[in-house]
Amino acid sequence: MGEILFSVTAKDCDWSYTRGTGKGGQKKNKTSSAVHCMHRPSGAHGYAEETRSQAKNRQIAFEKMATSKKFKDWHRMEVFKRTGQEALVDAYVKKEIDSPRTKIEMKQDGKWVPYVEPIVGGTAHDD
């Protein structure tokens, strides 16, 4: 079995509590049972108001955060960093950016236009 590289716990998250919306009766309308979980290192979020129990909604919000695409992407990169494979990721990203399939654009005056690399160390002159 492999070694544990790191763990993610509730202490890695910021938590906020609000009153839930919708059906649920008087208890749901008067207690702050809805939960928002934000994982600080990745910026991934999870929100739950499914139950009238704050504790249960905390579990659900944490699970939603941990199964989000943003968290999974962060987790994958963190594993690469901690196992010394970050160079493989850098090489893959460079290959994909340099690929003829990749189109790089920027938004200019509300429209997407091809990105042109700025000239460094000098100015462009029209003759």
Task: Dump pLDDT digits (tens) for 13-44.
Answer: 999 999 877 665 555 556 788 999 999 999 99
The answer to whether the CB of 51 falls within 8 A of the CB of 38 is: no
Query: CA 16, CA 18: separation in Å to the nearest integer?
Result: 7
pLDDT value, residue 122: 57
More confident call, 101 vs 122: 101
Over pLDDT 90: what percentage of the chain?
43
CATH number for 1-127 (one of 3.40.920.10, 3.40.50.80, 3.40.50.720, 3.30.160.20): it is 3.30.160.20
Rg (CA), the chain: 23
For residue 50, give both structure tokens.
């499914």
pLDDT value, residue 43: 96
Domain chopping of the chain, boundaries:
1-127
